[in-house]
Structure 1
Amino acid sequence: MSGVSDLTAHTGYWMRMISNAVSQDFARRVAGEGVTVAEWVFLRALYDEPSLSPTLLAEKMGMTKGAISKLAERLIEKGLVTRAEDEKDRRAHHLALAAEGRAKVPQLAALADANDAEAFGVLSAEERAELDRLLKALAERRGLSSVPTD
């Protein structure tokens, strides 16, 4: 016996296995709609707001302004997001969903729901609720607040 723990003895190993499978399946689903997971998260973050400054969007998503700017550029090029000058401060601007982006969010949300149902549908309702409770407790106790985008 070497005294070195086996990979499968780690909770993180099992979490990563499940996380990778769920994330990769979802990435394939949204890629079929022409977006990445990070772009989906960006679109969903804008969905409940008429518009947001890049700074506020970065705070909401737990990302840097630079990362938000890169995502915004890609989504503007795809016609899913618009950028408008701030009427009060011409140096600032706001991001909003374009009509096509607004229409796409419910479609992508349905894919997320289907992905979750497929991945976790093997659990009973009680097991699913307990898993959600434990994961949320871990995130809260560890102070994790950034939105996962990959």
Structure 2
Amino acid sequence: MTAQTSGLHDHLGYWLRRLSDEVHGRFEKQLAEHGVTVAQWAVLITVYRGDATTTREVSRYVDIDVGAVSRLVDRLIAKDLISREPDPDSRRILRLTLTEQGRDLAPRLAEIADRNDAHFFAALTPDRRRQLEDWIRDLVGVTTPPPGKGSTSS
């Protein structure tokens, strides 16, 4: 091995994974206090905000497999946080709706998510945070921010 061989700490991917692990791990512990996983939170908040209302729509919105979303929905139904309701306009479509307990919990979990983001990213100015988000979207291949994310306030 020579001194010119790159090491672990020379790779941006390593640092991105470390940051992701830190942000995710802290958030995961806080959500666990409410009996919800990060993946379940993603479904809950997506349905709560109306960004998607069917399993297929949620799958596209959060970019995970339809089968995985269906299993997450099943777990959320078992926790009495979400339900599948027939669409009045189509007998083939089942809409996801939050139960009363789910509607009460979703905004509290969103506050936890906001505080977690603030914990890790408050040192960034709003402009630098937007720039970081834009760079990440570019690297991931997403050209536009998700609906409702035109500007970030924290």
TM-score by length of 2: 0.79
Paired residue secondary structure (2:97): strand
Give the corresponding residue for 2:40: 39
In 2: Cα distance, 1:130 partner to 1:29 partner: 27
Give the corresponding residue for 2:110: 109
Give the corresponding residue for 1:74: 75
In 1: Cα distance, 2:102 partner to 2:27 partner: 18
- 1:53-84, CA deviations, whole angstroms, 9 ceiling, x for partnerless residues? 22222222222221111001100010100112
Give the corresponding residue for 1:49: 50
Give the corresponding residue for 1:148: none
Give the corresponding residue for 1:138: 139
C-alpha distance 88-121 of structure 1, shift in aligned 2 (>3 A): closer
In 2: Cα distance, 1:91 partner to 1:121 partner: 45
Paired residue secondary structure (1:63): coil
In 1: Cα distance, 2:122 partner to 2:143 partner: 27
Larger deviation, residues 50-59 vs 4-13:
50-59
C-alpha distance 112-74 of structure 1, shift in aligned 2 (>3 A): same
Paired residue secondary structure (1:85): strand
Could you tell me which runs of 5 or more consecutive residues in structure 2 were left unpaired when the two chains were aligned: 147-154
Specify the code of the residue in structure 2 equivalent to 1:67.
Answer: A
Larger deviation, residues 40-49 vs 121-130:
121-130
TM-superposed deviation, 1:50: 9.6
Larger deviation, residues 121-130 vs 39-48:
121-130
Using CA pairs under 8 Å that are at least 6 residues apart, name the structure with larger relative contact order, 1 or 2.
1
In 1: Cα distance, 2:128 partner to 2:85 partner: 46
Identity %: 35
Is residue 39–residue 75 contact of structure 1 (8 Å, CA) maintained in 2? yes
C-alpha distance 75-6 of structure 1, shift in aligned 2 (>3 A): same
Is residue 59–residue 65 contact of structure 2 (8 Å, CA) maintained in 1? yes
1:77-92 aligned at under 5 Å gives the runs 77-87=78-88, 89-92=90-93
- 1:7-45, CA deviations, whole angstroms, 9 ceiling, x for partnerless residues? 111111111111111110011111111100000000011
Could you tell me which runs of 5 or more consecutive residues in structure 1 were left unpaired when the two chains were aligned: 146-150
CA RMSD of aligned residues (A): 2.6
